[in-house]
Structure 1
C-alpha cells in the first residue's frame, strides 16, 4: 500500500497523497520488520 501511495504521489504531486504516505510510513514503524524481532521480544520480554 505504501509503494502504491508513493507512486501515485510522484505522478500527481497531490499533497494529500503524500500525507497519507507519511501516515502509512509512521504506522509501519510500530510493526516489527521480521519474525526474528517478534521472537526476540518473546525471549526477552520488556517489563
Structure 2
C-alpha cells in the first residue's frame, strides 16, 4: 500500500532528473559543436590569409 502512495513522487523525481540530465548533455554537446566550428573557421581564415 505504501508503494502506491510513493510511486507518483518517485516518477516525478525520475522525470525531473531525466530533464536535468538531458539539458546538461545538450548544453555540453552544443559547447563541443561550437569548439569544432570555431576550429574550422580559424582554419578557413588562415587559408585566406596565405
TM-score grouping bracket, smaller chain normalisation? 0.3 to 0.5
Q: Specify the structure having the higher radius of gyration (Cα).
A: 2
More helix by share: 2
Higher relative contact order (CA 8 A, sep 6+): 1
TM-score scaled by structure 2?
Answer: 0.42
